Structure 1
């Protein structure tokens, strides 16, 4: 399981391509019949391949909404952007975070190449309110931390509600988290189109309500200057005042021998931690995209005190599409038990699958001190599942805010292209129940709740852990 935002790659591609800043639009166009055919194909394959498409939405209601979307398709040609938005809406009806169509990045790249513009404020969405977290405007009146009340006379809450149907998530809280992840300026453009300027009403930090007119900025300028990329792709290890701090980075890697390099990094960090006789460890899973349990289990094994697994139940549903993908990804290779189970069961069949229980590291390698694990709303997928595992087994105390992603979830995602437009649809083939068996639809709730404000440079969660949890304990010894 993983959630990757690869717009950095798209922007790099744009950077090396000659920009044609003309009025001509090179966006792909499709006949209405092709888009309708893809919509029908998408819905049919989601029914056949999704573990439980109707887990959170009644089938009759889903079908009715789908038909409305199908009927909204115009009679003439449709741009790739507009087609992608239709597919996003169909996927999002399910209210399942892993049943999704990503942000229309190819259309956005084309828009960049044409010199398109975007809204010049980054927003943090917290406690049902929107705050200015980054400024890309030359208007000196707008300040960081101000609450945005409306844009062009539309209340911010209404704007969020209009954007939410394009975002797949179990809860509105998670939809706002994903909106932060992909960024408000990008999604405002995708849903509402280009604007030359915006009338923005804000509430200042001293309570005054003011309205400013701010100009749009070139999307390319926004992408090359933005500094608030949400997901952390880096690994880091630090040791200070007897406290070890470890950020493992995502639980995945596209690099050659990526898993091997990840494990070598973890080995090296814990060798140093134990050599320095640290009694306190902080593991940072904030802004973590998730990935594969082969990575996360290896990390947790260093501070686990008993055998563990990342689920209490793990079930899969096989389908013809999944079998086709499995055969394509393992041509000529000896199939492992997982692939064989997918291929050997009947299409549409749901079955249990078990992975080997993970043993702790040998006692001489294990860390035996106090462990704190940091999480926030951007702790995703396998990172959220790992946090739940750690909490359920009592391996550490969790500090931070509730995760947007949920640890009992429909996941184990795979993808397929739509035949006419080529748009990629992602569906969950599995169902995971967290280790303690809790099936409630909620994120991982930390033991120590601390709000992570994206609108400032302070690290509230780490500071709380150091100052409120660790330092008082150190002073008693």
Structure 2
């Protein structure tokens, strides 16, 4: 969520602390962990402490940031539980502690923080991976899917190339049960829920395995099936699929015109850096659908981790909306800088309503007038949740897929804070947005639940198209609506 597309009516809740903003300075813009564009990065001076432990020093910084930057940390974590988790971080006065060792300790806070925008991580996991591969390092050889019950299945070779092993369940890695490995890795993953964290681990298994268990040149992997003897397999030097896809417009966005007057519009991110390129693509897509007489549109946002709201507010909604809409109803934000013109004082917490509504252009020549279905998944997040909320709450589309993974009410305006003692970083949100329809439902929940097959992602698309086609043929009102 990069921009606040609204004017606010505000009330003010002020929270006391001792000059929490004095140590914070802007250093640069940063590309985020969930592919959210344009986060602000901050550095903090180490707080005074008598402990020689780098962990204790950065724990103090985390405590300070949670109190002085988050608008309401209890949004995702009970304050007593957070205090207990911070106190449980071991105070290790080891002068030679590596950054990886520090991460192994501090990242255990992430499931406790329970928010995809509030976590401890590396300054850039992408750069971390790039440097590792550049230096001749290797990674786990497969892209995988981690199910909600902890099972791990092969999806493809690392990087996305097909493998005949796709669909096979991995039973063990280097003599360790995969369930044991999964449970350990999930202790370091961030996100709103266990389901979300399993989805995120699926995309970054190679990263978390590397950081927790190391990166050997070979793996002994046990698979299910007729041949159950573990097999020695070489590690991979391929660029992981999640990173490679970010560089390709065609892997992020696509339009597929299908038979029976249907189409699939894939939107895998809203973080594409060239907004005009996306809007040109979207305009062309809706024009093509109009020429093809498309009556059923599926928007696939299952893998969309968010980004800049402008992409969907200016590139998608103008072709779908048939009534005035807004993308949220209320907000709570932490003021970072004093602004006399707005009557804002750094450090205060403001809450209010979002009063800006967008009105569709009645002369829009390529408005889509058919049925719209939005596919959501375990890791649909951030701005993509705002998009799904808007589509659902104003009746612009039907949500289909998996739910109970991320909150409808989203945090945002993420700030990156350096943890100077360990070289790690803390991400913390500065605002919280309530959906257009208000606090109706905690989790983002589909109108129609269909399980996502990570090995065959097209299965959900086919299921929706089959139902929509049958309804059109019978002339019945679609039960998916």
Q: Same fold (TM over 0.5)?
A: yes
Equivalent residue number for residue 187 of structure 1: 208
Separation in structure 1 between the aligned mates of residue 73 and residue 243 of structure 2, nearest angstrom? 34
Cα gap change, 1:201 to 1:402, in 2 (>3 Å): same
Counterpart check, 1:309 vs 2:331: no
Is 1:239 aligned with 2:257? yes
Q: How far does residue 398 in structure 1 lie from its aligned partner after superposition? A: 2.2
Matched, 1:251 2:270: yes
Q: 1:215 & 1:239 partners in 2: Cα distance?
A: 40
Larger RCO, structures 1/2 (Cα 8 Å, 6+ apart): 2
In the alignment, which residue of structure 1 is the partner of 2:66? 46
Match of 2:195 in 1: 173
- Helix, strand or coil for the counterpart of 2:416? strand
Matches within 5 A, 1:36-185: 36-71=56-91, 73-102=92-121, 104-128=125-149, 129-135=151-157, 143-181=165-203, 183-185=204-206
Deviates more, 1:57-66 or 1:169-178: 57-66
* Contact 2:221 2:233 (C-alpha < 8 Å) held by counterparts: no
Residue 213 (structure 1) aligned with residue 231 (structure 2): yes
Answer yes or no: is 1:361 the counterpart of 2:361: yes
C-alpha change, 1:116 and 1:238, in structure 2 (3 Å) is closer
Q: Alpha-carbon deviation of 1:474? A: 4.6
The alpha-carbon deviation at position 382 of structure 1 amounts to 1.1
Going from structure 1 to structure 2, the CA distance change for 1:407 and 1:61 (only over 3 Å counts) comes to closer
1:147-166 CA distance string (max 9 Å, x none): 22333454333322211232
Judge conservation of contact 2:332–2:349 (CA < 8 Å) in 1. no
* Alignment correspondent of 1:330: none
Greater shift in the superposed pair: 461-470 or 99-108: 99-108
Long gaps (5+) in structure 1? 8-30, 328-334
Q: Deviations over 1:55-88 (max 9, x none)?
A: 34333332232122141x3422222222344443
Contact 1:381/1:406 (<8 A) preserved: no
Aligned-partner Cα distance in 2 for 1:474–1:280: 13
- TM-score, length basis structure 2: 0.76
* Alignment gaps of 5+ in structure 2: 3-30, 36-50, 477-481
Distance 1:352 1:211 in 2: 61
Q: Distance in 2 between matches of 1:275 and 1:432?
A: 38
The structure-2 alpha-carbon separation of the partners of 1:92 and 1:348, relative to structure 1 and needing over 3 Å to count, comes to farther
CA-atom RMSD in angstroms: 3.4
Structure 2 CA distance for aligned equivalents of residues 32 and 408 of structure 1: 40
Instruction: State the partner residue of 1:381.
Output: 382
Q: Secondary structure at 1:308's aligned position in 2?
A: coil
For these two proteins, the number of residue pairs brought into alignment is 421
**TM-score (normalised: structure 1):** 0.77
SS at match of 1:111: helix
Alpha-carbon distance in structure 2 between the residues aligned to 1:348 and 1:196:
52
SS in 2 for 1:452: coil
CA distance in 1, matches of 2:78, 2:417: 24
Residue 49 of structure 1 deviates from its aligned partner by 0.7
The equivalent position to 1:278 in structure 2, one of 286, 294, 300, is: 294
Shift of residue 446 of structure 1?
2.1
Q: Which residue number corresponds to residue 406 of structure 1?
A: 407
Matches of 1:159 and 1:360, distance apart in 2: 50
Aligned to 2:238: 222
The 1:236/1:361 distance shift into structure 2, 3 A limit, reads farther
Distance 1:61 1:439 in 2: 26
Q: Which has the higher helix share?
A: 1
Q: How far did residue 390 of structure 1 move?
A: 1.0
| 8 Å contact kept, 2:302–2:377 | yes
Go from structure 1 to structure 2 and tell me whether the alpha carbon gap of 1:237 and 1:455 turns closer, same or farther (over 3 Å shift). Answer: closer
Check whether the contact 2:126–2:243 (CA below 8 A) recurs between aligned residues: no
Secondary structure of 1:453's counterpart equals coil
CA distance in 2, matches of 1:313, 1:421: 37
